[in-house]
Amino acid sequence: MMSEALDPQSFVDAEVFETRPQNRPLWRLPASQLVPVAAIVLGSVLTVLSLDSSWVPLAYRLPRMHGVLESAIGLVSVLVAYLVYGRVRTHGRLRDLVLAFALGFTAVVHLFAAISQGVSSGPPNRFEVWTITFGRLLGAILIAAAALVPTQVGIREARVARFLFGVAIAFYALVALVAITALHLPWSEDLADSPTDASTPLFVGPVLLLMLAALVPIAYSVAGLQFSWSGRGDDLMTWVAAACILFALAGLNYLAFPSLFSDWIYVGDVLRLGGVLLLLVGAAREIRSYWQRTTALEERRRIAHDLHDGVAQELAFIATMARRIERDTGAQNARRLADAAQHALDESRLVIATLAGAGDPAEQLALTARDAAHRFDVVVVVDVPEEVELPSEITEALLRIVRESVTNAGRHAHASTVHVRLRMFPDVTLVVEDDGEGFDTAKQTPGFGLQSMRERVEAVGGEFSVSSVEGAGTTIRVRMSPP
C-alpha cells in the first residue's frame, strides 16, 4: 500500500503467489511473507541455542542496559505510531487508528520503564513491576486487536488532540489502578535475581505475574500472524508483523528468564532489540515511500501547469475563434470545429484538474467544479471533506459527473449557483444541485449526457438519480458503497 505500491514488481510477485503458490520457491516469496518467516526462523534458532550456551555466553551483566533498551523501544514506537496515525488522517481506517493508539500506549509504558529503571538505583519495587507488567500486556492486546480489525472498516474523523488525550488517560488510568491495588498484588524478591548464564531456565515470580507474562507472547503471536496475512502488499505492516513475532519470542524468553527487572541481559532482550530494529526499518521504508510519492506529485503538478499554460490555452483560443466564425458565416464545418475544440478543451481541463490535485480526490473535485463553473459565470459552492481516499476508477467517474453536471447547469439550465457536496459516510454520496430552469422528468426524455453519467456510475457499482422541477432547478445524486 505504501512503498510497495510504488514498485510494480511487488504487485507481480503478490499476484503470482496468489495464483500459483505451489510453484513458488521459498526465496521467491513476497516480502509480506518472507520477512516474518525469517523472523520466526532466526528467533527460534536463537531461543533454542540459549538453552545450551556452553559454546558461547548468552547472558551478560549490564546494569542500566534495560533502561537504554526501554528508551529505544519507546522512541521507535512513538515514531511508528506517528506514521500510522498519518495513515489514519489519509485513509480513515479504524485499524490504523487502533494500531496507532496501541503503539502510542506501548511507547508511554516503555518510556515509563526507562525512567523508573534509570532513576532507581535499587531493586524494582512492587508498583514499578506491576505497572510495567500490566502495561506490556495491555499494549500487546491492543496491537493484537488492531490486527484483527478488518481493513475496510472506516472512521468518520480523527483528531490529534483527542488521540493524545486518549493515550494519556489510558496510561494514567493504568498507573492509578496499580497504585490502588499494589499492596494487594502478590510479590517476590526473586524478580531481581537471575542466573549467571542462560543454560538453566528459571521461572520465578508470583503465579499471577507468570500468567500475565505468558499472555504477552500469545497476543504478539496473534498480531504477527494476522498482520502478515492481511497486510500483503503493505510494506509497513510487513515489518510490524515481523517485529511482533520477535516480541512474542522475547516474551517466551522473559517467561523463562525474567531479566526485565534484573541487571542481566538475556536472549529475550536481544530478540526484543531485533524487534525494535525491524520497526525502525519499517518506519524508514515508510518515510522513503512518502518521499517517492511527494516527488511524483510534484511532477504531476508541473505537468498540469504546463498543460494549462500551453495546450489548454491554445484549445480555448481555437474554440473561441471557431464560435465567432460560426456566428459570422453559419458554416457547418466551423460549428464542428468549435464542438471538437470544446470537447478537447474539456478533456484537457479534466486532466489538468486531476494532475493539479496530485492524487487528492477532494482537490480534484473542487478544481473540476470551479473550472466548469468559471466558463459560464456560475457561482459554485463546493463542500467536500478535507481528506478523501477513493479508488482511481471511482474518482474519475465522480470528476466527469461533476464536470458534466456543472456544465449542463450553466449551458442549458442557465443556473446562477451550483452546489457540489460529497459525503464519505455511511456511503460515498455526491450531490450536484443547481437553481436553473429545470425540466419535467415525466415529459422530457433524459439526454445523452444524463444517460452517459448513469452508465458511468453503474459501471463502478453505484446508483444514479436525477430529480428536477421546471423553474426549480435540478439535483443529481450519486451513491455508492465505501471502498
Note every long-range contact of 22-30, with CB atoms under 8 Å and residues 24 or more positions apart, other chains counting: 30/232, 30/233
Beta strands in 234-294, from DSSP E residues, in sequence order: 264-265
Residue 8 predicted with pLDDT over 60: no
The Cα–Cα gap between 400 and 152 comes to: 26
Grid coordinates given for 302: 508541473
Question: Best-predicted range by mean pLDDT among 63-67, 358-362, 428-432, 449-453?
Answer: 428-432
The stretch 299-325 carries a mean pLDDT of: 63
The Cα–Cα gap between 144 and 306 comes to: 49
pLDDT > 90: what percent of the chain?
A: 22
User: What pLDDT does residue 464 have?
Assistant: 92
Residue 166 predicted with pLDDT over 80: yes
Q: Under 8 Å CB-to-CB from 295, ≥6 apart: which residues? A: none
Instruction: Please name the residue that has the C-alpha cell 548468552.
Output: 58
Binned at pLDDT 50, 70 and 90, residue 271 comes out as confident
Mean per-residue pLDDT of the chain: 77
Domains of the chain: 4-293 (no CATH), 374-483 (3.30.565.10)
pLDDT > 70: what percent of the chain?
A: 69
Q: Under 8 Å CB-to-CB from 456, ≥6 apart: which residues? A: 397, 400, 401
The Cα–Cα gap between 300 and 308 comes to: 12
The Cα–Cα gap between 117 and 136 comes to: 15
Determine which of 98-102, 159-163, 304-308 has the lowest per-residue pLDDT on average: 304-308
Name the residue among 242, 223, 91, 84 with its Cα closest to residue 163: 84
Binned at pLDDT 50, 70 and 90, residue 23 comes out as very low
User: What pLDDT does residue 27 have?
Assistant: 44
User: What pLDDT does residue 24 have?
Assistant: 44
User: What pLDDT does residue 297 have?
Assistant: 67
- Provide the pairing of β-strand 264-265 with 428-434: unpaired
Binned at pLDDT 50, 70 and 90, residue 4 comes out as very low
Name the residue among 141, 96, 139, 100 with its Cα closest to residue 234: 96
| Phi, psi at 426, each rounded to 5° | -75, -20
Tally of CB atoms within 10 A around 258: 26
Residue 338 predicted with pLDDT over 70: no
Determine which of 59-73, 211-225, 286-300, 453-467 has the lowest per-residue pLDDT on average: 286-300
Binned at pLDDT 50, 70 and 90, residue 104 comes out as very high
CA dihedral 218→223→225→230, nearest 10 degrees, is 160
Binned at pLDDT 50, 70 and 90, residue 21 comes out as very low
Residue 46 predicted with pLDDT over 60: yes
Binned at pLDDT 50, 70 and 90, residue 418 comes out as very high
pTM: 0.61
Q: Residue 13: which H helix or E strand, with range?
A: helix 8-19
Tally of CB atoms within 10 A around 187: 15
The Cα–Cα gap between 281 and 275 comes to: 10
The Cα–Cα gap between 47 and 279 comes to: 20
DSSP 3-state of 466: strand
Residue 301 predicted with pLDDT over 80: no
The Cα–Cα gap between 416 and 434 comes to: 8
